[in-house]
Amino acid sequence: MRSPKKSTIALALSTLPAFLIGACGGNSTDPSGTTASPPVSAMAANSLQAIAYGAPDTSVPAGAGISITMMGQMRALFDLIRKSPDFTQVVMDLGDGSPVHVLDTNTGDKFLPGKLALGLSYILIDMKAKDDPKYADYLATYQKITTAMMQSSGAKYTYANTSWGEYYYLVALNNLNAHGMLNEVFSDAMLTTLQKRLNFCDMFGPDASGATDTCPAAGTAIDVASLNTAQNYYAVSYGIAGLRQKLGWSNPGFSSASDPSFATMGARDALLYTLTKHIRNDSSGGFSDEASNKNSTYYDQARFDRYSTLLIGEVVERTFEMGNQANLTPELKGYLRKSVDLILPQLNTDGQGFNYGRSIGPYGDSAFMEILTAAANAGVLTSNEMQIAYSFIYKAAYRFDNFWYDPSLPTPSVNMWVKGRGTDSYRGKARVMGENFSLLHQYLYVNNWWNKLGFGGKAPMADADFTSYLNGLPHYTLTLYNLPSDSAHPYSAALLTVRDGKRVINLNLSQAPDYNSYTPYYPVPFSDKLMYGTTDLGYALLIPQVSYNGKTYIPVTYYKNLNVQESNGQVVVSFDTTKFRQATKNAPYTTDLDLQAHTVLTFSSGTITRTDTLSSATLTGNVAVETDFTSFADYQNTSASGFNVNYADSAATNYGTTGFDNCSLSNFDTAGGTTNPLSTTPIGQLHSNFACMSTPFTLGAGVSRSFGWTLKYSVSN
């Protein structure tokens, strides 16, 4: 299938008005593999390069403030594998009494072969460039593992390697090719296998889980609407198609019953075209709705989270990676700028990223980093914003090495699973090896881009200047995901970011039908070490949770009448919740409760207050309300009296409630002698819970009842 002229694709991709934000940057080429370290004398110890690559031998430069470089971490993982007589028996021990066989076939990580091929390729490229005498030994290990992982056993391959895994593998192949190593590392037979297996076809047509090769016969086009997974996976298939094309490999074509233009496009550009329509149609302002699906009414949709903001960054990243900059339209750059504008007000001196929604933790930090890097390459940052972006990314890298990476574990590793931390089941502990590889790749990849952009080995701006910039950011920023005035979108969805000294507080209003029963999607403020959600679980965290007829209901969607005002240094937010949802994942909408809440949140310096006024014209029978506040404060240093609790060793100093009939303080981190799963947040363990409850009461026409809380916390400027 022939590719269209670039002008044709550019026109096809920009059928709606869009804008281009001019700035510096935007002319870099793909940085493949490892960028060599600048001369030691020219590299600042507090530079991104010093953390990612380090000295010429990848050791830690003096004064860098880290225990190991990222290249050092990658080499340690390679050595862990290389020294095992049987790589399928490699064990990583996180010190919780249950070591994991991280490279067997049952990890559940369907991206593992690609992550491993990419991660270990950094070491091969680096060793080859240095004429390292051990290169042949490491190459032999690499070839042994990659060959075994690609072997088929009957109808299936020994290891699954789908979507992201295929993309990661193709990044590795292109990096090796750029360094003239592809045919040295892979035999012709192996490349033939990879060319057949590394495709996007498993994401289209019927669910192809476990299938081997699902691409149609030559000359047969794939229906672009047959994607069998979430729509954001168009971005993964776009990366695969573009990287195959960069290697000179052919792709199946696409067709569409409703759009004949697909017949004139190659796969790469057809997927970019489809991606653009997804972002354009399933959002307002460029933030893709990651719960959107075909034949769905609006209230089934509207999950806005980390990935809604990151997706456009990944699209732009892939575009530069595959050398497709000619089709990076003003519309796409405009969407990318929207993501930049959402995260700039959240920047901080600690390198922390998203604190709400799913798949955060270290990926919340790296998402900011990826968006800012894509924006730097695309030319949508001002020269000052380039300096700000680099400074934040340096701090995120420093945080990764000193917070997320834990050298004290029996097997040093990134830690998302132990010592009070918890993550989504999607990133379960069995995937620990793959998560190390993908996170390290993100930082090494980003470092290589900033080296290309002229920042290699440079120190970030002075902390005083960075802090001065942050102090100059608006007191609050409101980002609307969709416009409440739009008749097709009757509900409010938005992110409010409030800055109080160094503290960043986010209030995310998102419908999230598939996740709204989990605390990270609750309509409550989240802020580092002050208020945080627990992944994949729900309880009455800072919301009026209602018990009615033996079931539990929560106000987690159907937001209307959102209003934000600032007066006398206070930010006042109000909104209405028109129904309460049953507190179970994907609860049927037929179980919604006819209960309304008018909510007012007030943000003052060092204080947040919330009042919920509940009413219903139709409920019969009694309801009861509970609201919990869980704290990072040590339970032993917490004291309660009546409806108030004081904290001695945390950012929170006091919490009190109104409207309830009784409250109780309890130890939250253990339940029955084991760790309470509700207590493990992405950033650490919650220790104490203050639960306040009402006795049962009735609501009816003309009757309402209000419940409230006030949280006080220390302010750092």
Amino acid 280: pLDDT: 84
Length of the chain: 717
- Beta-carbon count within 10 A of 55 CB: 16
The parts of the chain modelled with pLDDT lower than 50 are 1-29, 208-212, 294-299, 484
CA distances from residue 685 to 270, 507, 509, 680 in whole angstroms, order as listed: 46, 21, 25, 5
**Token pair for 648:** 């001695």
- Identify the bridge partners of residue 609 per DSSP, sorted by sequence position: 602, 710
Beta strands 622-631 and 684-685 are: unpaired
Rounded distance between C-alpha atoms, residue 218 and residue 321, angstroms = 27
The predicted model scores a pTM of 0.92
Amino acid letter for position 636? Q
**Token pair for 151:** 């072997």
Rounded distance between C-alpha atoms, residue 710 and residue 713, angstroms = 10
**Token pair for 489:** 């979108």
Contact 667, 685 (CB under 8 A): no
Rounded distance between C-alpha atoms, residue 667 and residue 107, angstroms = 34
- Identify the bridge partners of residue 478 per DSSP, sorted by sequence position: 496
DSSP 600: E
Long-range contacts of 538-541 (CB under 8 A, 24+ apart): 538/583, 539/628, 539/678, 540/626, 540/627, 540/628, 540/691, 541/628, 541/629, 541/630
Amino acid 5: pLDDT: 37
Contact 262, 252 (CB under 8 A): no
Q: What per-residue string of b and e applies to 79-93 under the rule 16 or more CB within 10 Å gives b?
A: ebbbeeeebbebebe
Q: For residue 387, report the phi and psi dihedrals to the nearest 5 degrees.
A: -65, -40
Amino acid 149: pLDDT: 92
Amino acid 216: pLDDT: 78
Strand order in the sheet with 476-482: 476-482, 493-500, 503-509, 525-526
Amino acid 301: pLDDT: 65
Q: Which of 438, 420, 429 is nearest to 100 (CA)?
A: 429
Three-state DSSP at 391 gives helix
Q: Which of 140, 178, 232 is nearest to 34 (CA)?
A: 178
> What element of type H or E holds 630?
strand 622-631
Rounded distance between C-alpha atoms, residue 182 and residue 188, angstroms = 10
Q: Which of 551, 535, 552 is nearest to 543 (CA)?
A: 552
Tokens 């080499």 appear where? 75
Amino acid 31: pLDDT: 60
Which H, E and C letters describe 499-567, residue by residue?
EECCEEEEEEECCCCCCCCCHHHCCCEEECCCECCCCCCCCCECCCEEEECCEEEECCCCEEEEEEEEE
Rounded distance between C-alpha atoms, residue 100 and residue 98, angstroms = 6
Per cent of the chain over pLDDT 70 is 89
Q: Which of 194, 206, 191 is nearest to 157 (CA)?
A: 194
Three-state DSSP at 474 gives coil
Cβ neighbors of 113 (< 8 A, separation 6 or more) are 146, 149, 150, 159, 161, 165, 169
Amino acid 489: pLDDT: 61
Rounded distance between C-alpha atoms, residue 139 and residue 128, angstroms = 10
Amino acid 293: pLDDT: 52
Contact 282, 292 (CB under 8 A): yes
Q: For residue 108, report the phi and psi dihedrals to the nearest 5 degrees.
A: 80, 0
pLDDT in tens, 319-372: 999 999 999 999 999 999 999 999 999 999 999 999 999 889 999 999 999 999
Domains of the chain and CATH, by start: 1-30+224-406 (no CATH), 476-713 (2.70.98)
Rounded distance between C-alpha atoms, residue 294 and residue 226, angstroms = 11
Rounded distance between C-alpha atoms, residue 93 and residue 410, angstroms = 6
Cβ neighbors of 398 (< 8 A, separation 6 or more) are 51, 65, 66, 351
Q: Which of 538, 484, 480, 528 is nearest to 506 (CA)?
A: 528
